Amino acid sequence: MTFSSTALAALCNSELHLAERWGAEAGRAIGRRLLDLAAIDFAHLEDLPDVDVSSDGAREVMISFGPIVIEAEIIVGKSAGRPPADGDCIVITRLAVLGRDGR
């Protein structure tokens, strides 16, 4: 799993930065979900607990987790001129925390 920018990578790879942005509890939950994404094969993404996966029909996928809703827009396959880092070449391009239970 890679990130579309160094700023996004720095945010997502630091529990401290996540906590500063969204609070300690939400920061820990986001960090756990990002670890889940890093550890799972894309084909088994829907096997994660409390996950909702939707696609635009192209290469972009939206992933939402509850009870804290996280949307990560990912691109599968070669993108942005990058060679695949692993089998799926998942590139996270956006992360948004909408709130708890969709509120």
How does pLDDT run across 44-75, given as a tens digit for each residue? 878 888 888 877 766 677 777 775 656 666 66
Give the residue-averaged pLDDT of 16-42: 88
Does residue 49 have a cis peptide bond before it, meaning omega lies within 30 degrees of 0?
no
Q: What is the pTM of this model?
A: 0.73
**Do 102 and 84 contact (CB within 8 A), yes or no?**
no
Residue 101: band (very low, low, confident or very high) from pLDDT cuts 50, 70, 90: very low
Q: In the predicted model, is pLDDT for residue 25 greater than 70?
A: yes
Q: Express each pLDDT in 77-91 by its tens digit.
A: 555 455 545 545 677
**Sign (positive/negative) of CA torsion 85, 87, 91, 95?**
negative
Q: Is 90 left (phi over 0), alpha (psi -120 to 50) or beta?
A: beta
